[in-house]
Structure 1
């Protein structure tokens, strides 16, 4: 009876350890994931299996199944065997953990590779050269455009002073607004404003020559002055249409379209004046 009591008491303690093991596994399922989940699961299983093994060995010795002295004398060896068995199970468990950790690292690496793959590749030398050429072309276009709008403003200013015709006064103010819109594009791209503050002075030699020719023509008569207005607006419309064919930036496109619409209105106004002759 005493042996039975000892057996039950010892078994209860070992079962308690087994229960703790199962609890750890259950907590792992609820609270963790990945390698840590595997860790708690393995620890729980090892503790539980170790407890069962210990119960079986203890039962054989204490209950009397192996009651002879020879076998009882081997209880110490059996306890050592239990320890060795638990150690082996532990090694297996940690080996499994190492495998899981390695796989987890591989998964993380694969995930990182996938994320990296979504990053836009660095442009090649040829592509970068094309980008630089486009930006330079756009800069040149905007620099030319703002001086072209200044040309219209300055010519109309001189002709308004010459003839006092209201159409020149109205449109020269509109040309100032056009310049302001182009200036906004230049400032957004850190491009220097090429305009001179002097009336009739231009950095672009082509525009300088054109200005001088138009002033000479416009001063001949009011009719010639209106013809100058038509020539300027027709040139603006053609240039802007060509610029729109290559423009890609949304703000540049919007500005060009607005300028072209304005020039088309100006062209109609000058043609109405010419219709009087």
Structure 2
């Protein structure tokens, strides 16, 4: 009970940093939106890659590889729009970011995901929920067709990853309470989750809940 309360507090603190999407609020220019989304994808990559070194399961490695591809896709869109993505976006070490809010978010998510594999899955679902929210806000902005197509593709990817984590939690007989989406949106997205949904072969039991080394 105490652990659950601590986790809840940590997750609320992490997402309080983004109670509303920065897109359309603080991030108004096309350049600032794309650069933020690029670094957000780097955060997701670094987060899942870090979890892959902590928990014995293949799911985090597979998602991390996807996030690396997403960074490349967004960087390609930026290049088409003559927006320069600084080299240090890719050269920064794991867990280091230019945006201060993303730095704080990464730290809070890593702490929350460290309690157990179940908490790691739940925190990962929280992150995918955050990404979906921001991508939907980006799609509301005036965009070129290339941007919209890319954002829609990334949104579908985040939805699929979100469902994988929810399915893993379901198989652990654990629930999930959405933080940013409404209960009706959550139900619509997850009501058809089946045992063979999304990836068909990942081991949701994580080959027991053993931890790799120390956090």
Please report the TM-score for the alignment, with normalisation by the length of structure 2. 0.64
Dislocated runs of 4+, deviation >3 Å = none
1:259 aligns with 2:151: no
- Look up the match of 1:270: 165
> Shift of residue 196 of structure 1?
4.6
Q: Secondary structure at the match of 1:246?
A: coil
1:137 aligns with 2:32: no
Considering Cα pairs closer than 8 Å and 6+ residues apart, tell me whether 1 or 2 has the greater RCO. Answer: 2
Count how many residue pairs are aligned between Structure 1 and Structure 2: 143
Distance in 2 separating the partners of 1:189 and 1:164: 41
1:176 aligns with 2:30: no
RMSD (Å) for aligned C-alpha atoms: 1.5
1:230 aligns with 2:125: yes
1:221 aligns with 2:116: yes
- Look up the match of 1:191: 83
Please report the TM-score for the alignment, with normalisation by the length of structure 1. 0.50
- Look up the match of 1:157: 49
**What are structure 1's unaligned runs of at least 5 residues?**
1-134
Contact 1:196–1:202 (CA<8 Å) still a contact in 2?
no
CA offsets, 1:146-186, max 9 Å, x none?
00111111000010110031111111111111111000011
Distance in 1 separating the partners of 2:149 and 2:112: 33
> Shift of residue 248 of structure 1?
2.0
Larger Rg, first or second structure (1 or 2): 1
Distance in 2 separating the partners of 1:187 and 1:273: 37
Distance in 1 separating the partners of 2:70 and 2:124: 16
- Look up the match of 1:206: 101
Contact 1:218–1:226 (CA<8 Å) still a contact in 2?
yes
- Look up the match of 1:243: 138
Contact 1:217–1:225 (CA<8 Å) still a contact in 2?
yes
CA offsets, 1:17-72, max 9 Å, x none?
xxxxxxxxxxxxxxxxxxxxxxxxxxxxxxxxxxxxxxxxxxxxxxxxxxxxxxxx
- Look up the match of 2:59: 167
**What are structure 2's unaligned runs of at least 5 residues?**
1-26, 173-215
Higher-helix-fraction structure: 1
> Shift of residue 245 of structure 1?
0.7
Contact 1:240–1:260 (CA<8 Å) still a contact in 2?
yes
